Amino acid sequence: MGPIRFILLTLLLCSSQCLGQEAPPAVTLVNVKTRNETHIELEWTKVNNINTYALKSSDEPETPITGLDGNTVTHTVSSLSAGTKYSFTLFTVLEELRSTGFEFPAVTAPPAVTLVIVKTRSETDIELEWTKVSDINPYTYILKRTGGTDTPIPGPAGNKVTHTVSSLSAGTEYSFTLFTVFEDARSTGHDFSEVTGMFPMFTKPFNDLAKGKRTGREKQIKIILCYGPDISVS
């Protein structure tokens, strides 16, 4: 090998490190700042005050990202599918050099339930039912009672989810918010209100009455004492 060739080869092999440039460090943590069904907003702290990054997501082409002023960089990934887990790789970019990739997963919010019906109702219990938002993904649900606690509800086999809220007071309106949950992501909340049945102390006399011949007037009284859309009078 001649001296010229040797010098060229050495220059090629030693690349930029011989010229005093080292690959920049990788980001070590990426947070999901906000998310919905189609977008994930990512945020990370700048490395060595570097403003340029590249984000790779599965089969998508790489996206160059330039940070603004300040210590953090935010970037929103769009056109995503609801309730889906995506894998990302983030590189710190410094001129021609890039860090090793920092890999992380992030999920989009799952779809929300749009309708909850009351299957049965008593003075103390309300049995709720809704259709699962997906047959494929094993979502769970969270039912929040306004002013109360969050109740996690598994998505069982089959198409419907039923859940009974108990220990309620008679003749009272309760407000709820139902969320679909996928990993650490919640859907938007579906808000609804329902009332418990009323006046349990009047049930017995009316049941006794029901054994005999009932008049139109008795039926009328019962309608007044009990309310709620599902309470039928026969």
Ligand X SMILES: *[C@@H]1O[C@H](CO)[C@@H](O)[C@H](O)[C@H]1NC(C)=O
Short-list 218, 18, 34, 230, CA closest to 121: 230
Backbone angles phi, psi at 143, to 5 degrees: -105, 120
**DSSP code, position 8:** H
Residue at 23: amino acid letter: A
The single residue among 33, 36, 129, 174 that binds ligand X, judged by CB under 6 A, is 36
According to the binding rule CB under 6 A, does residue 38 interact with ligand X? Answer: yes
**Cα–Cα–Cα angle for 187, 158, 176, nearest 5°?**
40
Does residue 77 sit in helix, strand or coil? strand
**Candidate ranges 33-41, 96-104, 170-178, 179-187; the one touching ligand X (CB under 6 A):** 33-41
Cα-based torsion angle of the residue sequence 120, 122, 126, 128 in order, rounded to the nearest 10 degrees:
0
Could you tell me the smallest distance in angstroms from the CB atom of residue 116 to ligand X? 21
The single residue among 26, 32, 39, 127 that binds ligand X, judged by CB under 6 A, is 39
**Candidate ranges 36-44, 48-56, 67-75, 91-99; the one touching ligand X (CB under 6 A):** 36-44
The single residue among 23, 25, 37, 162 that binds ligand X, judged by CB under 6 A, is 37
# residues near ligand X by CB under 6 A: 7
| Of residues 15 and 63, the one with the C-beta less far from ligand X | 63
| Of residues 36 and 134, the one with the C-beta less far from ligand X | 36
Bridging pattern class, strands 150-153 and 97-98: unpaired
Q: Which residues bind ligand X (CB under 6 A)?
A: 34, 36-39, 41, 76
